[in-house]
Each structure stands twice: as C-alpha cells, then as structure tokens.
A and B are shown apart, each in its own frame.
Chain A
Amino acid sequence: GQQVMQIPQYQHVQEGEDFTTYCNSSTTLSNIQWYKQRPGGHPVFLIQLVKSGEVKKQKRLTFQFGEAKKNSSLHITATQTTDVGTYFCVGALRSGTYKYIFGTGTRLKVLA
C-alpha cells in the first residue's frame, strides 16, 4: 500500500544548530502538508506544498517539494528550544476525493 516514510525518526541537536527532516513517498503525491506536534499537544498545520519543486519559507523554516512530487523536506535554521516536538509530513493522494497519508514523524529535541 501507499507509504510515507520520514527520516530520521529522532534527532537531538544543540540549540543554534540546523535540523532537517526528510519525507519520502512510494507514490506521486498531489500535495504535501507539514505539521508540528508539541509534547502532549495535537498536530498543528504548518504549510502545504502543491507544485513540483516548490520551496516555501516561514521565518527559520524552509519547506521543499521534490520535482517528482514524491519527496519533501523541512529545514530549520538555528534551532531554538521552542522548536521541540514531532514533525509530521502528510501526503495527499487524489482519487476522486483526497486521501491523506501521515508520515512516520521525526521527533526533535533541542538541547540548550
């Protein structure tokens, strides 16, 4: 079946270091979304990428969608302790209506 894998599963970084999580789909996606879930919280929508090769920035966060629309990345520059949480990508497949597949998530710890 369709799968969306994320790597790494866990990442510990020192505050100020950069962080990247990668998302790979077994099938071509219609779009991809990124969510952040703080410990004890619920996933919160960050961004949606639709176009092949799209790059979007939100302050220190940079999101990319691959040319083949099968992979994506989230890069955080100069991490802060507030970046702690689990980052999920969610791939959307369109077959009539949309079907969403959650990635496995990357848990980020930032050490002060």
Chain B
Amino acid sequence: EAGVVQSPRYKIIEKKQPVAFWCNPISGHNTLYWYRQNLGQGPELLIRYENEEAVDDSQLPKDRFSAERLKGVDSTLKIQPAELGDSAVYLCASSSPLYGYTFGSGTRLTVV
C-alpha cells in the first residue's frame, strides 16, 4: 500500500501568485481531508470530502482557496492569489474506521 501521496513536497512562490497541491489518498478510502498546519500548532481542517462531495468546508477561506475531488479519488487544493500568511504545511489525509487518519508527507508552502 503506497500510503497517501502528496506533491509537490515543497513550493516557494511570490505573493499574489497561484499555487496548487495534489493528493492521492489510500485506495478505497472514501474520506479525504485537507489540513493546514502552521509551525508549532496542530493541523487545522480546511475541507473534508466523502467521495466527491465536500461535506465540511466551513474552515476553507473561499475567497482565495478552492478544492476539488472530481472522481472521488485524487484531490487538488488551490490558492489564488497566495498571501504571505498562507505559508504553512498543507497536509492531505484519508481515513478508515479502524486505523484513523493516514497523512501524506505534506506540501511545505513558502510565500515570499
């Protein structure tokens, strides 16, 4: 089992530029999450998908953030335009009832 795969691993962009992150969850995991983690803090939920439906996006800043999971498998998270305060690690996770979350390695975003 490959685990949750995320890319890119690192991204440095200038403010006001767009950026996109990609996630491939564990095969068969219907629930997919995007989290943002700032340094020294716990992960903060941005959006949760059940298959292709976004069932909780209450914490997603919708003016600049968007996400999609068109076929209920891979997902992308986009920020446009990026701001300095968006610098963080963006974690994707999928879950199963017995084994909790499995997180990807994350994408470390630096906005300069």
> Given contacts A43-B101, A45-B101, is CB(A97)–CB(B42) below 8 Å?
no
- Among A33, A43, A107, which residue has the most Cβ atoms of chain B within 10 A? A43
> Given contacts A42-B91, A99-B56, is CB(A33)–CB(B101) below 8 Å?
yes
Complex A-B: 21 CB contacts under 8 Å: A33-B100, A33-B101, A35-B100, A42-B89, A42-B91, A42-B104, A43-B43, A43-B103, A45-B99, A45-B101, A88-B42, A88-B43, A90-B100, A97-B50, A99-B56, A100-B95, A100-B101, A102-B45, A103-B42, A104-B41, A105-B42
Across the A-B interface, the 5 shortest Cβ-Cβ residue pairs: A42-B103, A45-B100, A102-B42, A33-B100, A105-B42
Chain A residues contacting B42 (CB-CB under 8 Å) are 88, 102-105
Within 8 A of A (CB), among B19-58: 31, 40-45, 50, 55-56
> Given contacts A88-B42, A103-B42, A104-B42, is CB(A42)–CB(B100) below 8 Å?
no
| Bound CA span A48–B43, Å | 18
| Bound CA span A42–B43, Å | 10
Q: Would you call B98 an interface residue if the criterion is a C-beta within 8 Å of the partner chain's C-beta atoms?
A: yes
Chain A residues contacting B43 (CB-CB under 8 Å) are 43, 88, 102
User: What is the interface residue range for chain B against chain A?
Assistant: 20 to 34
> Given contacts A42-B91, A97-B55, A99-B56, is CB(A105)–CB(B41) below 8 Å?
yes
B59-103 interface mask toward A, CB cutoff 8 Å, 1 = contact, 0 = none? Answer: 000000000000000000000000000000101000100111111
Closest chain B residue to A88, Cβ basis: B42
In contact, A45 and B102 (Cβ under 8 angstroms) = yes
> Given contacts A43-B43, A97-B55, A102-B43, is CB(A35)–CB(B50) below 8 Å?
no
Closest chain A residue to B104, Cβ basis: A42
Chain B residues contacting A35 (CB-CB under 8 Å) are 100-101
Chain A residues contacting B50 (CB-CB under 8 Å) are 97
Q: Would you call B105 an interface residue if the criterion is a C-beta within 8 Å of the partner chain's C-beta atoms?
A: yes
Q: Would you call A44 an interface residue if the criterion is a C-beta within 8 Å of the partner chain's C-beta atoms?
A: yes
> Given contacts A102-B42, A102-B43, A105-B42, is CB(A44)–CB(B55) below 8 Å?
no
